[in-house]
Amino acid sequence: MAGPRRRIERVVDSLIWAANWVSSTLASDSDVQVQVDDPAGNDNAEAEPAEVWTIAGVQSRPKDGSEAAGYAKALRVQLGDTLLVIGTHDPRHVEECELGELVLHALGDDGSRRAKIVIKPDGTIDVSGTEVVIGNPDGSLEPIALGTAITNHFDSIKGDFDTHIHTTTATVGAGPTVGVISIPAPLFTNTPSTLKSTKHNVET
């Protein structure tokens, strides 16, 4: 006969298990709802979806699962008639994380990495993605200037001014003939292809 501890474990096992993340939707209040399989591993599309509870202020929706592509895992909890997911893990896409780092990454619906933020223990923050926007992405945006390109461009302008020579036919002294002073063309010998980032934008 099973002891009290074993009976409690059986009850807990019947209420909490690691399920496959089948698909997800957004509810009318923007909460993430997920369709998970049952304890027997059956994908029941008609079953009530589970509400995802994770860290406050953080929402994520892993790529939908399939037998061919594999599944993210969801820790499913049954509280009365309510189904909750209180933790997720996606073994299909695991980012390398060094000691003391925090790594955030977002995947496209095809499962390929589209954006990544790495907060390093020395205070460095690395941000990468197809486009990086600072500020309101729906506001008026301007490309971020490229510091090195701008510095090199102004250095080139300064050099052109420092070394330019006017061609002149003017004579020194009084005389009836007016000389001509010609500005070299082009005055600026270095025209950069771009001074703006093609991936980074900031709200104006």
Q: 18-33, pLDDT tens digit by residue?
A: 888 888 888 777 788 8
pTM, to two decimals: 0.62
Angle ∠(74,75,79) on CA atoms, nearest 5: 125
Summarize pLDDT for 54-80 with one digit per residue, the tens: 888 888 888 888 888 888 888 888 777
Band (99; pLDDT cuts 50, 70, 90)? very high
Band (121; pLDDT cuts 50, 70, 90)? very high
The amino acid at residue 157 is I
Backbone φ and ψ for 159, nearest 5 degrees, come out as -65, -40
**Which residue would you say has higher pLDDT here, 103 or 202?**
103
The whole-number pLDDT of residue 120 equals 93
Instruction: Decide if pLDDT at 140 tops 70.
Output: yes
Band (138; pLDDT cuts 50, 70, 90)? confident
Residues 191 and 155 in one domain: yes
Task: Give the number of domains in the chain.
Answer: 3
135 domain residue, yes or no:
no
Residues 120 and 176 in one domain: no
Q: How far is CA 190 from CA 111, 165, 167, 193, in A?
A: 43, 17, 21, 10
Band (92; pLDDT cuts 50, 70, 90)? confident
Residues 116 and 167 in one domain: no
Residues 81 and 11 in one domain: yes
Domain that holds residue 174: 141-203
Band (101; pLDDT cuts 50, 70, 90)? very high
- Span 169-174, mean pLDDT? 59
The amino acid at residue 97 is C
The token pair that represents 47 in the structure block: 């079953």
Residues 10, 2: Cα–Cα separation, whole Å: 10
| Pair 36, 50: CB distance under 8 Å | yes
- CATH number for the domain that contains residue 44: 2.40.50
Backbone φ and ψ for 157, nearest 5 degrees, come out as -60, -45
| Pair 50, 15: CB distance under 8 Å | no
Instruction: Decide if pLDDT at 17 tops 80.
Output: no
The whole-number pLDDT of residue 102 equals 92
Phi-psi region of 173 (alpha: psi -120 to 50; beta: other; left: phi over 0): left
Backbone φ and ψ for 89, nearest 5 degrees, come out as -150, 130
Q: Which of 201, 192, 199, 200 is nearest to 149 (CA)?
A: 192
Band (43; pLDDT cuts 50, 70, 90)? low
- Span 77-84, mean pLDDT? 81
Residues 21 and 33 in one domain: yes
Residues 155, 167: Cα–Cα separation, whole Å: 24
Residues 75 and 104 in one domain: no
Spell out the residues 6+ positions from residue 192 whose beta carbon is closer than 8 angstroms to its own. Answer: 149, 152, 153
